[in-house]
Amino acid sequence: MTTTLARRLAAEGIGTAFLLAAVVGSGIMAERLAGGNAALALLCNTLPTGAILAVLILIFGPLSGAHFNPAVSVAFALRRELPWRETAPYIAAQIAGALIGVWIAHLMFELPLWQVSLHDRAGVGQWLAEFIATFGLLVTIFGCVGRASATVPYAVGLYIVAAYWFTASTSFANPAVTIARSLSNTFAGIAPGGVVAFIAAQFAGMLAATLLGSWLWSYRAAK
């Protein structure tokens, strides 16, 4: 079935909006209910994020590929699996959806719509964490697509749950998510001053994963 570009962009925008509503909304709820226990709040933020990712990929994967992430879209363009002429519209839809998702979360919890995060996330450790988080995410996707594409939703959801805990940055691994979370002064936020470095690390991780993936699973192209 051929899906029009408009439908694919709608899928990317709606999916990314739900993802950010889940990330930010669960962060707000977790902070309110955890009673100051940061580890419990992080766990309560982690589980809904991994769960919603699996659901959204299952729903929108057949329509748009369910990227919800500019780094993923660029990676698939580099692999010639997404036309370059569609890559910029995909990214625009993802960023717009991410912003809408954050604002919806604010409205649901009766917080000011427009915010700027004060949560400082900077330093070499944070940047390395974002490189690793994005590298691992793309390797997960490429590995599953190359061997068992039906497992992608569950593998991505589980990877993000794990990466929340083993990376110092709690695994943003997504430029659209990073931009949107800079506009939420909540548990999930990132101060705007850290956004550019995070995005640079994310794209570096994506490029490394794309190169590795093209080598590891190149046998498929030879068959």
CA distance 105 to 223: 47
Q: What is the mean pLDDT of residues 57-75?
A: 97
DSSP state string for 146-172: HH-GGGHHHHHHHHHHHHHHHSTT---
Least confident segment among 28-32, 97-101, 136-140, 216-220 = 216-220
Tens digits of per-residue pLDDT, 199-219? 999 999 999 999 999 999 875
DSSP character for 192? G
Q: What is the mean pLDDT of residues 115-137?
A: 97
**Domain of residue 141, CATH code:** 1.20.1080.10
User: Could you tell me which residue, 114 or 217, shows the higher pLDDT?
Assistant: 114
Locate 70 and state its tokens. 């500019």
- The answer to whether the beta carbons of residues 71 and 172 sit under 8 Å apart is no
* % pLDDT > 90, the chain: 94
Q: Residue 222 pLDDT more than 50?
A: no
DSSP state string for 11-47: HHHHHHHHHHHHHHHHHHHHHHHSTT-HHHHHHHHHH
Count of the separate structural domains present in the chain: 1
- The answer to whether the beta carbons of residues 177 and 98 sit under 8 Å apart is yes
Range of the domain at 156: 5-222
Rounded to the nearest integer, the mean pLDDT of the chain is: 95
Tens digits of per-residue pLDDT, 142-156? 999 978 889 999 999
